[in-house]
Amino acid sequence: MAIHENNGCPNRELMNAFVERTLPPETAGDVAMHVSHCERCRTGMRELVLVKAQEKVRERWTSIREVFAPRREYLAAADGQTADQLQHDAAVRSGFIHFTAHLDENDADFWHVKLALPTVITNKSRLRLQVLGKNEQRIERGELVFCGAKMPVEQGRASMLVSEFRAYIKNPENSMISFRRATGREIEGIPVLAYDMQR
């Protein structure tokens, strides 16, 4: 193996490169083979994948806060390369920000939320959210918890003022979304970039 610790295990730098998929195929194959036989590295890899996934979700929530920030001049120079720029660009192009449940799409409780972006974002603008299930079918009833705000869902729709959203989203601990169905089952979700959904 190209870079390893004294015990023959890949070091943190190599594990990071493996998770980020930046290793040449042969080196990636060596790391995968080692991890398949080493419990210590499997545990380390699981932890690293979890940390990377959490970082990605945090970046997406940060970019959502920026989309609704009162001033967005810094985005004028956006080159489409960073996560927040990609989120912003994808949202503006599609007119929506998307969120999806941490479930397989075939699960009966799967949900997907489309947040329609107002053409002009002011404190008095109303955010309209569609709550959809499998095959884009509207979910009739439930409760959407969006950035700390609890909103009833009726006929697959919920809404809130931008001013309310801005007040909630200031607190990073409110960076979450979940949906509670009429049955009582609550499932958390994450922001999904529009370009991820088209892949």
Tens-place pLDDT, residues 71-90:
444 444 444 455 555 555 65
Residue 190 has a pLDDT of 86
Is the pLDDT at 152 greater than 90? The verdict is: yes
Cα gap 33→68, rounded to integer Å: 45
Residue 71 has a pLDDT of 46
Structure tokens at 105: 């799409």
Confidence of residue 52 (pLDDT cuts 50, 70, 90): confident
pTM: 0.63
Residue 61 has a pLDDT of 76
